Amino acid sequence: MACNKGVICQSYGEYEHSAIKGFMMNNNGVEICANKGSQARAVFEGEVTSIAISQLAEN
pLDDT tens-digit map of 11-26: 889 999 889 999 999 9
In a domain, 53, yes or no: yes
Bridge partner residues of 13 (DSSP): 27
Number of domains into which the chain is organized: 1
Distance (Å, whole) CA 45 – CA 30: 15
pLDDT at 21: 93
Mean pLDDT of 37-52: 76
pTM: 0.57
If DSSP codes are grouped into helix, strand and coil, which group holds residue 25? strand
- Residue 37: pLDDT above 70? yes
Note down the domain range covering 29: 7-58
In a domain, 15, yes or no: yes
Of 16-20, 29-33, 51-55, the range with the lowest mean pLDDT is 51-55
33 and 4 in contact (C-beta within 8 Å)?
no
pLDDT at 59: 46
